[in-house]
Each structure stands twice: as structure tokens, then as C-alpha cells.
Amino acid sequence: MVRHGVMVVGMTGTGKTTVIETLAKSMEQLNKEGSTDYYHKVVKRERLNPKSVTMNELFGYVNVLTNEWTDGIVAAIVRANVADTSDTKKWIEFDGPVDALWIENMNTVLDDNKMLCLSNGQRIKLPATFTMMFEVNDLAVASPATVSRCGMVYMEPVHLGWEPIIETWAITFKEERKKDGAVPAYIVNVIDKMKGLFK
């Protein structure tokens, strides 16, 4: 609600993804229940790992031979979602380590003017329905300029522990092995033994 750029920071296994998913589902549920609050809307999530592709593939590039522009992943996602004029919330989630190169290109997006500036001179204005989310392990290489533009949510590992992870696995394991609406007794025994090994 405060910032259109949000960084969820914490070690792997602290529940960053689950927190984001829970917030999105909560907003959608409140919308379905008839809430008229501006923030209680259906959420459309776009996830990508910015470190899995090159800078050209991420933001776009000009072919030096033909002088033609090719959109990168971020540019394509932004264009597609800007074209959607509904009041659906659009979250673009960067799930991967922060890199000084690609994150600096996001500074104009994270500013109050919310403008994506591409290397071919194009500028795409992001509507108020957009939120840029960053799911990161740490901010060691992020500049103060980038950090100051974002809201921070720090997930401390001490609060979660291992129990919820095992419980979630057990629930999923049971659901996947249901037969005729019931979980076979041997599955329950396997789960109980597995949970006992962690204590």
C-alpha cells in the first residue's frame, strides 16, 4: 500500500514466496466477498528470474545489423499488462538475486513517475495497478538509491523453523495420495514416521 516497489528479503526457506502468495489470495478472497476497498482486487502475478537471462533478453535490444528493436521479457510483460485496462492488480515478481546491473535499470520504474525506460528511447508509463516485487536473499550489491525507493519486508529465519515445512509436505503428500476421499492407513504411518525423524 505504501510503495509500488517491494523487496521481500530473507534466506531460502523463510517463507518469502508463501507470504506473497498468501497476500495475493487474501486480496482476491476479500474481493470475492464484496469488499469495496481499493486494494482488495484480483491479483495477476508474473514471475521471472532476472539472473537466468542476459540483460538484452531481460530488457530488450536493438539489432545492430537491421536496427530493429526486440522486446525483452520485462518489456513484453509490462506492455501486455499496460494494455490490460481493468482494475486487476498486476504484480511483476523478480525472484532471484539482486545484481547491480539489472536492478539499476529499475530505478526509473521504482520512482514516483513509474516509467520503464528502454535502451531504444521508448518510455512506458506504468499505471497505479502495477507493483514491482523483488524476492531476494540479500541486498549486498543493491545501491542505496534502489533500496530507498522500495518498501522492505524482512523475513527472519528464527520465526519459521522447520516444523511448518514438514507439516506442509505432510498435507501435500496426503492430498496427492487420497483414494475415494480417504487417505490409506499406510500413508498416515509413513508420514508419522517421517515427522518423527525430524524431532
Q: Which residue has the higher pLDDT, 71 or 158?
A: 71
- CATH code at 124? 3.40.50.300
Quote the strand ranges of the chain, DSSP E. Answer: 5-9, 43-48, 60-62, 69-71, 89-95, 115-117, 123-125, 130-136, 151-154
| Domain match, 146 and 62 both | yes
Q: Which whole number is the average pLDDT over 136-142?
A: 89
Q: Does pLDDT of 182 surpass 80? A: no
Determine the pLDDT at residue 60.
Answer: 92
Q: What is the pLDDT of residues 101-124, one digit of tens each?
A: 888 888 889 988 899 988 888 999
Question: What's the rounded mean pLDDT across residues 134-148?
Answer: 88
Domain tally, the chain: 2
Q: Does 3 score more than 90 pLDDT?
A: no
The answer on 92 and 26 residing in a single domain is: yes
Question: CA torsion, points 19, 110, 119, 45, in degrees to nearest 10?
Answer: 30
State whether 139 and 173 are in the same domain: no
**pTM for the predicted model, two decimal places:** 0.82
pLDDT of 61: 92
Confidence check: pLDDT of 199 > 80: no
Question: 69-71 and 60-62 as β-strands: parallel, antiparallel, unpaired?
Answer: antiparallel
Domain housing 108:
5-156
Q: What is the 3-state secondary structure (H, E, C) of 46-74?
A: EEECHHHCCHHHHHEEECCCCCCEEECHH
One domain, residues 62 and 123: yes
- Measured over the CA atoms of residue 124, residue 44, residue 151 and residue 163, the dihedral's sign is negative
Say if residue 141 is in the same domain as residue 175.
no
Question: Based on the domain organization, do 133 and 47 belong to the same domain?
Answer: yes
Give yes or no: residues 95 and 133 share one domain: yes
Span 185-196, average pLDDT: 80
Instruction: Give tens-digit pLDDT for 26-36.
Output: 999 999 999 99
State the Cα torsion 25-113-47-170 to the nearest 10°: -40
Per-residue model confidence (pLDDT) at position 28:
95
Q: Are residues 89 and 115 in the same domain?
A: yes
Do 183 and 98 share a structural domain?
Answer: no
> Are residues 173 and 104 part of one domain?
no
Same domain membership, residue 175 and residue 80: no
CB 22 within 8 A of CB 149: no
